[in-house]
Amino acid sequence: MSFKDMKKQSSLGSLTSKLVKEVEKMNNNGGGNGDDRLWKPEMDKSGNGYAVIRFLPAPEGEDLPWVKVFSHAFQGPGGWYIENSLTTIGKNDPIGELNRELWNSGNDADKETVRKQKRKLSFYANIYVVKDPANPQNEGGVFLYKFGKKIFDKIMEAMQPEFEDETPINPFDFWQGANFKLKLKKVAGYWNYDSSEFGAQGPLLDDDDALEGIWKQEHSLAAFTAPDQFKSYDDLKKRLDLVLGKTSTRKAVEEETEYDNYAKVESNRASEEQVLEKLEQSYQQSKAEVTDTSSSTDDEEDPMSYFAKLAES
């Protein structure tokens, strides 16, 4: 789609219906760390955070302005399991198969195990940072933003309002979209976004040339579901067996010990977000050899908050 076509579809409102249909299809199917491209909100000393961002249209050559990724993160007798789930790309995943078996056993202990190792849902989108009091240098920049189901639900509420007197908007539209006021606070130890909301509908900028320049700065979203982002079924199974204590090697044990000790030290002296970044980055770089559950077990927590909480344990 060209930039001119994008503006034409904006005036017709056709992009909004297209995105709504895609979400419905996505729901029916069930189905980057240490990266300076990623923007993250920050809390102040009072435990609150605030920023204004604008969700951007799909990058050039791609159809959707977001991408969803399922992952797993839990600790077992043999160490940590932090991996992308093959269910993201419609394939069978060893954790998904195990969790289904455990959930259907009817045993309460098995169901609790499933809850601990259920898959986490994350979304990625391109954003334009309008206001970032914690990091003013980010303002006017284009970044990737990783967020969870809570914020995605707010996007869907904007596209499909609950009441008749509310006008549907496409939050990803340059001209007919709206800025998103991200309001962050901590509730029961987790980051909470309930107070976040979209502002008034209107163009991001009044200069189409500037908007096109922003569009061309966007990052690929399709890259998050590229084959190199996922290990093979067999490699994931080996990793899973090791984490669950079914197999063990001296090298793997040494790596897990180093990894666990590192996590404990870092959780005592670094911020939640720093711990998350280092845990995931360190683990993904590990060379040790070494999910699709029912909808009742899918996690609805914000993934960043979940990992941050995990790092504190």
Give the tens place of pLDDT for each residue, 222-270.
999 999 999 999 999 999 999 999 876 555 555 555 555 544 444 443 4
DSSP 68-119: EEEEEEEEETTEEEEEE-GGGGT---HHHHHHHHHHTT--HHHHHHHHHT--
* Residue 221 scores a pLDDT above 90: yes
- The more confident residue out of 259 and 24 is 24
Instruction: Enter the pTM of the model.
Output: 0.74
Q: What is the reported pLDDT for 254? A: 56
Stretch among 9-18, 123-132, 160-169, 285-294 having the lowest mean pLDDT: 285-294
Which pLDDT score, from 0 to 100, does residue 251 have?
Answer: 52
User: Minimal CA–CA distance to 91: which of 10, 31, 160?
Assistant: 31
What is the structure's pLDDT at 288?
Answer: 35
- What domains, with CATH codes, occur in the chain? 1-313 (3.90.198.10)
Q: Which two tokens stand for residue 268?
A: 């005592």
Confidence of residue 273 (pLDDT cuts 50, 70, 90): very low
Q: Which residues contact 163 (CB under 8 A, 6 or more apart)?
A: none
Q: Which amino acid appears at position 241 of this protein?
A: D
Q: What is the pLDDT of residue 209?
A: 97
Q: What stretches of 148-196 adopt beta strand conformation (E)?
A: 178-187, 190-192
Q: Does the pLDDT at position 78 exceed 70?
A: yes
Q: What percent of the chain has pLDDT over 90?
A: 61
pLDDT reading at 282 higher than 60:
no
CB neighbour list of residue 265: distance below 8 Å, 6 or more residues apart: none
Residues 30-71 pLDDT 10s: 433 468 899 999 988 888 999 999 999 999 999 999 999 999
CB atoms inside a 10 Å sphere around CB 1: 14
